[in-house]
Amino acid sequence: MSTGRKQFQLVAAPNGLLYAIGGMSGSNVPTATVEAYNITGNSWSPKASLPTSVAVFGAALGRDGLIYVFGGSNVYTNNTPPFYGTVYSYDSRTDTWYTSVQSLPTPRRELSAATSSYNNRMYVLGGANGTFLTTNEEATVSTGASTSTTVTCNLSSVIVNDPTSCNVTVTDTSVTPTTPTGSVTFTTSATGNFTGACNLTGSGASSTCATAEIYTPFATGTHIVSATYNGDLSHDYSTSTGFTLTVTIVPVRSTSMTVTCTPTGVTVSTGSTTTCTVVVTDTSSGPVVTPTGLIGLSSTGSGTILGTCSLTGTNATATCTVTYKPSGTSSRTDTITADYSGDTGHSGSSNTSQVTVNASTAGALGGTILGLPTLDWIILAIALGVVFLAILLGTKKRKNKQLITSSNIGTPAPIAGPGPVGPSPQP
């Protein structure tokens, strides 16, 4: 720590950092300073100070992800006033302290505090306020149904400065679950950058990010990627346990990637699938080296990636193919993300492709046949049918007209028989 201290509290926050809070510094002087320790980076950084210098207090991480500080005192001598009943809370996401409008029913110092995983309530126990206390007091910060959050990234090992996509699943764990909504905040225990905004979408008891978050690590070593669900009007906050990402040194050659899914439109009710082809190209100058290794694929929608995408090829380019079979009951656009973590001679790369998912057979009209939209083929077929029918009806009319003309000629009149021969007409 930068500030030597005693009678302070150390609390682990959802972002993976350890917070050293308050206590007594040199010469038994109370301090309000706060420092955070990065485990993987083995470094301390200053944070916002407490509203008041305080020591011998209790502290715990609440169910809402805030750090709570209870009671305490500003003098060193045991069981000596003043005895504080103040409650402070700290949001590690914004580095902000708040003073609660509620105080402890019993002001006390040298107390202990903890949060129960059974009922998500915080408990303050023991301590002293002129006498040793046996009482405990209870607090709750629950605002809705309980939730759980899990985070996963496409790859568990990446090259430094190469991105990987990460997503979360937030689940309502209550007896009568509803779909969680709202946003998720990503954090890392090391140095890196997140790109994108995770806004939840889903059905039933669970939701995922509509668009995967992209994480780019800036340093080698172990990165713990965590996600915090911020809750909504009917769901409580929750934090994931963290995803371990191993970041290694930069290899020699760079790569680029393309992802193409054909057809671009599929229908869930017919069980149709799309074939996604990944092409990885060595883009460095000099003699080319064929990229090798596996491709990690994921989808923002519900569905299954069928098969393993193992690169094969020659010269600068290698390819692999998988099948994507969507599921679910809603029409949507799924984003297929492909991540290449590189090999011993190549850096990684990533890219995406869009797939239109139709929930019913009517959606099949959105596909293509031989490069033309399916609907255009249907219209063409109808037009040709109409033309053929018109020709057929025209032929029948001409035949009927010929039959009617022949019947109107009738039977020839009989030739008159021989009669008396008269004189020949004179001129």
pLDDT tens-digit series, residues 142-194: 667 889 999 999 999 998 888 999 999 999 999 999 999 988 989 999 999 99
Are 90 and 199 within one domain?
A: no
Q: Is residue 270 part of a domain?
A: yes
Q: Which residues of 83-93 are buried (b: 16+ CB within 10 A; e: fewer)?
A: bbbbbbbbebe
Are 110 and 150 within one domain?
A: no
Phi, psi angle pair for 228, to nearest 5°? -120, 120
* CATH number of the domain within which 114 lies: 2.120.10.80
Q: Is residue 69 part of a domain?
A: yes
CA-to-CA distance for 356 and 335, rounded, in angstroms?
A: 9
Residues of the chain with pLDDT under 50: 362-364, 407, 409, 415-417, 420-422, 424-425, 427
Boundaries of domain holding 105:
9-140
**The Cα angle at residue 176 between residues 170 and 178, in degrees rounded to 5:** 40
CA-to-CA distance for 238 and 15, rounded, in angstroms?
A: 12
Residue after which a domain boundary falls, among 140, 169, 195: 140
pLDDT at 375: 64
Instruction: Yes or no: say if 31 and 25 are a contact pair by the CB < 8 Å rule.
Output: yes
Interval 84-130: pLDDT, tens: 999 999 999 889 999 988 899 999 999 999 988 766 789 999 999 99
Are 125 and 151 within one domain?
A: no
Counted domains in the chain: 3
pLDDT at 108: 95
Are 102 and 206 within one domain?
A: no
Nearest to 204 by CA among 242, 169, 238, 166: 169
* CATH number of the domain within which 243 lies: 2.60.40.10
| Alpha-carbon distances, residue 20 vs 1, 53, 118, 163, 242 (angstroms) | 8, 13, 26, 32, 21
pLDDT at 388: 82
Are 177 and 77 within one domain?
A: no
- Count of C-beta atoms within a 10 Å radius of residue 35: 19
CA-to-CA distance for 32 and 22, rounded, in angstroms?
A: 5
Peptide bond preceding 46 in cis form (omega within 30 of 0):
no
Residue after which a domain boundary falls, among 250, 270, 285: 250
Instruction: Yes or no: say if 93 and 185 are a contact pair by the CB < 8 Å rule.
Output: yes
Residue after which a domain boundary falls, among 89, 110, 140: 140
Q: Is residue 165 part of a domain?
A: yes
